[in-house]
Amino acid sequence: MRVYADGFSIEDKDTETGLTFNIRYFSIPNESFAALARVVQIRNASGKKLGIELVDGLPIITPFGLKEGFLKDMSRTVEAWMTSSIEYSGKVPIAFYKLKSDPEDRPEFQSVDGAHFHAGFAQIGNRRLDPKLIVDPEVVFGQRTDMITPAAFIENQGQVSSVKQIFDNKTPCAFSYQKFSLLPGKHMTSYALFGETKDAAKIKSRSRSILTQKYFEKKIAESTLITDSIRNRANTLSALPEFDQYCRQTFLDNVLRGGLPIKTQTKGKDFILNIYSRKHGDLERDYNRFVVQPTYFSQGEGNFRDVNQNRRNDVWFEPAVADANIKMFYDLIQTDGYNPLVVEQVKLRFDSGKQVSAVLKKVMNGKLAAAMSDFLRDPKTPGQIALQLEALGATRKQQEDAFKELFTIAKRWDTARHGEGFWSEHWTYNLDLLESFLDVYPDHLKRVLFERSDYTFFDNSHRVQPRHLKYFELKKGVVRQYRSVVDDPEKAALIASRSKESDKVRTNFGKGSVYKTTLASKILTLIANKMTSLDPSGFGVEMEADKPDWYDALNGLPGLFGSALSGSYELLRLCRFLKNSAETASITGVKVPSESAALLNDTLKLV
């Protein structure tokens, strides 16, 4: 096996038949659909002509629309909703897989739009072979449901193409069947795509251009170019080639967690967007919900800690990032010092539909500009905007020009949601972002900390309970801290009632304008919260909100009134940083919310 940055290959030799096999996997980039490519090369090294029957592909493929819960818990029952089809574009076959309708137990009928698909072809020299597609696994395996031995394929040699298939009410497969002869020293190459699309008709219409040797060669080159262009940002030349490759690959892995900052130059300002990021962790962690948008400007979603950690070096590799990450992650800090867990996609918000229409009319006709203006009434991700422009028939130049115009008037909205709870140490990583920024821009300390006054607080309907509602005596002498966080329905309704920037703290008890302040003010509020969260001994910051620090093996510690000494060290570090920064910038006072001032004054009386 050979592992590449953008895929892997497997090589094998069958000494009995004299056939050698090389299989290469890579993903298809720069398309409006997602697909995995499989290229199989079979070479005849036997010294004689061989007649070959080949079945290649996936023994199981899940139909589009099948949710994880049905797949894990009701995989037999949900087969009643499964359907497969084989459609043709000329002589080119394509298999589609989907559910007939949404299988949820409810009276409303909901159709399933979109499909998973499988298609392929083979090449022997200049001769093209279009395969017979198999969607019924019984054609290959017969009654062998372990899908290890292809009993029916062996039994029906030479007859596979005439076996009747069942297309409905069973879990399908995605196989290609080929029958051919191979001369000594010659090779056959099989090309296959396994993918997902929202528009099956579009895949069918493009199949003749997609299912070509030239297309696959182009896409593997693009795939390699994309990964290399990312890894080359950490290009390292040392006396140890292994170390050089390690640095490049580590940078790529880092991008998969924190995203790659790209700079979009517009009139008057740079717009920074992190693309490619997804949730942390290895793919075999089945509790992780990996989400990456199937769009242009593809963004994922990740947990606060992981995305934060992996953006600490952004400003070094892309100086135009400047203080964008500082603004994003400090804005997610709440008035109580906690933060939402899940960092979602960046969206673009536009205050005026007339303004959107006016700037778009510079680069496209009025009808198209009006349609886009209507589409952008609600915040959208850059990827959604790009897909909509494409769907409306905008040319590539119109799309590029439209983005340049839109970025000049767009307001960035860093979306997030509460997720599974409040981890007690998430706030500590924000200072790393600040220090990285000041390493590159030391002369901007005063502006970022004390002069820029557009920082906000994240507003969350979840809150930490007071002690008398979360301390429980399970039995005599056994006291625990449980159910520390609740979702306040009244607060949730208030947040939902806001027409824009709904997740930002407001004045006038949540009904006024968005409250804005300086970063120094936010840090002082954070310090006050953490000082009052020290344990009774004054040693560690309490795990008062059901969650521990990063170490998942300590998940039971909050219930045992656990606290973290590392949090105290970080609190001291933050206090020293703010004190030294104020002295460096000759700052003698900071304006803070009245509530924060009261908390700070009361806390100082206890010191």
Angle between helices 565-584 and 430-440 (to 10 degrees): 30
Residue with tokens 């959604």: 384
pLDDT of residue 158: 79
Assess whether pLDDT exceeds 80 at residue 286: no
The share of the chain scoring above pLDDT 70, in percent, equals: 98
Phi, psi of 418 (to 5 degrees): -60, -45
Interval 189-203: pLDDT, tens: 999 999 999 899 999
pLDDT of residue 110: 86
- Across 583-591, average pLDDT: 95
Give the CA distances from residue 393 to residues 32, 387, 390, in Å, rounded to whole numbers and listed in that order: 14, 10, 5
pLDDT of residue 63: 97
Q: Which of 27-41, 93-107, 295-309, 425-439 is the most confident on average? A: 425-439
- Across 495-518, average pLDDT: 95
Residue 415 one-letter amino acid? T
Largest Cα separation within the chain, whole Å, is: 93
DSSP state of 517: B
Q: What b/e sequence results for 163-197 when a residue is b if at least 16 CB atoms lie within 10 Å of its CB, and e otherwise? A: bebeeeebbbbbbbbbeeebeeeebbbbbbbbbbb
Q: Closest Cα to residue 171, out of 151, 198, 145, 196?
A: 145
| Radius of gyration, alpha carbons of the chain | 29
Mean pLDDT of the chain: 93
Assess whether pLDDT exceeds 80 at residue 285: no
Quick check: 306 and 425 in contact, CB under 8 A? Answer: no
Q: Closest Cα to residue 79, out of 96, 93, 62?
A: 62
DSSP state of 540: S
Assess whether pLDDT exceeds 90 at residue 269: no
SS3 sequence, 197-209? ECCHHHHHHHHHH
Residue 594 one-letter amino acid? S
Alpha helices in 162-278 (DSSP H): 200-210, 213-231, 241-258
Residues 6+ apart with CB under 8 A from 367: none
pLDDT of residue 233: 94
Assess whether pLDDT exceeds 80 at residue 447: yes
- Across 237-254, average pLDDT: 94
- Across 217-221, average pLDDT: 97
Assess whether pLDDT exceeds 70 at residue 48: yes
pLDDT of residue 157: 83
- Across 94-100, average pLDDT: 97
Query: In this structure, what token pair is assigned to residue 148?
Result: 């290890």
Residue with tokens 């994922």: 300
Assess whether pLDDT exceeds 70 at residue 283: no
Give the CA distances from residue 565 to residues 394, 542, 558, in Å, rounded to whole numbers and listed in that order: 57, 9, 14
Q: What is the spatial distance between Cα 28 and Cα 117, in angstroms, rounded to a whole number?
A: 14
At residue 106 the predicted structure's pLDDT band, cuts being 50, 70 and 90, is confident
Q: What b/e sequence results for 305-323 when a residue is b if at least 16 CB atoms lie within 10 Å of its CB, and e otherwise? A: bbbbbbbbbbbeebebbbb
pLDDT of residue 268: 64
pLDDT of residue 105: 84
Assess whether pLDDT exceeds 80 at residue 593: yes
At residue 282 the predicted structure's pLDDT band, cuts being 50, 70 and 90, is low
Work out the angle at residue 479's Cα, subtended by the Cα atoms of residues 474 and 480, and round it to the nearest 5 degrees: 90
Q: What is the spatial distance between Cα 174 and Cα 192, in angstroms, rounded to a whole number?
A: 10
At residue 551 the predicted structure's pLDDT band, cuts being 50, 70 and 90, is confident
Domain architecture of the chain: domains with CATH: 2-228 (2.70.98.40), 254-321+336-417 (no CATH), 426-606 (no CATH)
Interval 365-413: pLDDT, tens: 989 999 999 999 999 999 999 999 998 999 999 998 998 889 888 999 9
Query: In this structure, what token pair is assigned to residue 497?
Result: 């009632």
Q: Closest Cα to residue 413, out of 350, 496, 349?
A: 349
Q: What is the spatial distance between Cα 482 and Cα 464, in angstroms, rounded to a whole number?
A: 11
Assess whether pLDDT exceeds 70 at residue 267: no
The model's pTM is 0.87
pLDDT of residue 293: 78
pLDDT of residue 249: 92
